[in-house]
Amino acid sequence: MLSVVCPIYNEEKYIGKCIESILAQDYPKDDFEVLFVDGMRVDKTREIVAKYAAQYPFIRLIDNPHKIVPYAMNIGIKAAKGDVIMRLDAHAAYAGNYISALVSALENYHADNVGAVCRTDVLRKTPKSLAIREVLSNRFGVGNSTFRVGIKGAQEVETVPFGCWKKEVFDKYGMYDERLVRNQDIELNKRIIRGGGKIVIIPDTYSVYYARETYKSLAKNNFANGRWNILTVYYTKELRSLSIRHFVPLLFTLSLALPLVLGICWHPFFYVPIMALFVYMLVFSVVCVSLTLSKGLDFIYLLGSFITLHIAYGCGSLMGLIELLLQRYRADF
pLDDT score of 294: 96
**203 pLDDT exceeds 90?**
yes
Average pLDDT, the chain: 91
Q: What is the pLDDT of residue 187?
A: 94
Residue 333, pLDDT above cutoff 70: no
- Quote the pTM value: 0.90
Tell me how far apart the alpha carbons of residues 107 and 165 are, in angstroms, rounded to a whole number.
10
What is the number of other CB atoms lying within 10 angstroms of the CB of residue 197?
Answer: 16
> Of 195, 211, 227, which marks where a domain is finished?
211
Does residue 74 lie in a domain region? yes
Which whole number is the average pLDDT over 45-73?
95
Using the predicted structure, report yes or no on whether residue 253 has a pLDDT greater than 90: no
The domain containing residue 61 runs over which residues? Answer: 2-211
What does the pLDDT read at residue 298?
97
A 10 A CB-CB count for 297 gives 18
| pLDDT tens figures, 109-142 | 999 999 999 999 999 999 999 999 999 989 888 8
Could you tell me what percent of the chain has a pLDDT over 90?
74
| Residue 32: inside a domain | yes
User: Do residues 60 and 177 both lie within one domain?
Assistant: yes
- Cα–Cα distance, 78 to 68 (Å, whole number): 16
pLDDT at position 332: 66
Task: Give the pLDDT of residue 132.
Answer: 96
The string of pLDDT tens digits covering residues 144-179 is: 678 887 788 899 999 999 999 999 999 999 999 999
Q: Which of 211, 229, 250 is the last residue of a domain?
A: 211
d(CA 36, CA 216): 28
User: Alpha helix (H) ranges present in the chain?
Assistant: 15-23, 45-55, 69-79, 98-108, 127-135, 139-142, 146-149, 168-173, 184-194, 215-236, 248-262, 271-295, 299-332
Residues 194 and 257 grouped into a single domain? no
Q: Which amino acid is at 233?
A: V
